[in-house]
Amino acid sequence: MLRVAAAADVHCRDESGEVMRSLLTRMAEAADVLCLCGDLTDHGRASEAQVLASALATAAPKPVLGVLGNHDFEAGEVEAVVRILSAAGMRVLCGDEFEFEGVGFAGAKGFGGGFGRHALEPWGEPAIKEFVHEAVSEALRLETALARLRTSTKIVLLHYSPIRETVEGEPSEIMAYLGSSRLEEPVNRYGAAAVLHGHAHHGSRFGRTAAGVPVYNVSVPLLKRGDDTATAFHVLEVPRGAAVGSAGRER
């Protein structure tokens, strides 16, 4: 079995070095691969990325995979953030794939747009069409990464949710900004052992796609909700080279 430790919304700040080192050390002790599912930084500043990059040394030599979140774009320094984290050994997946010991990982940021019959459609003002276009583009990035994987076991990394179930608990008024059903479509088409995402700090921990693929919300604020001593990451065990669509086993 391959053990995967996942966390999202770590929101690294300039003063977060000790917290990040502690988190990554514990994740590396618990698993074979580490996954950080977006909002790697708090305001998308290069200085924050540098703090996280320094902490990544505590996880070596375990592979560390990441996807970007909305906070990582805030300061307009996203290229520097990706460059710094990549130089420190993190594989930042922006529609890319990664294989390790018979397990394939596909990652993208994702985007909003809503779920099911309430999903936003590209109709009306240009701004609405641009919003939907971004959601479609992110879904296509994920689909491209999944299509390139040749492993039977696949894990998907996102920041935004592909299903409504794991964002339940958030105010209904903001559901359209928490994820998109367009991200669910390639997951169901290509299959996966699990989907890992964050973004919904007050959502729910677990759900399934329409095809039965397990979806885990690994947002740190959610995992620690009401208990500051709780483990701030999720550990998933998946079989190396198992049949497509096999469910990961939560530890």
Averaged confidence pLDDT in the chain = 93
pLDDT attached to residue 248: 39
Does pLDDT of 241 surpass 80?
A: no
* Domain 2-250 classification at class level: alpha beta
Mean pLDDT to the nearest integer, 194-223 = 97
Residue 240: band (very low, low, confident or very high) from pLDDT cuts 50, 70, 90? confident
Q: How far lies 59's CA from each of 67, 89, 142, 223, in Å?
A: 17, 10, 26, 21
Return the domain boundaries, the chain.
Answer: 2-250
How sure is the predictor about 157, in pLDDT bands with cuts at 50, 70 and 90? very high
What percent of the chain is modeled with pLDDT above 70? 94
Q: How many residues are listed for the chain in this entry? A: 251
User: Please, which pLDDT band fits residue 250 given cuts at 50, 70 and 90?
Assistant: very low
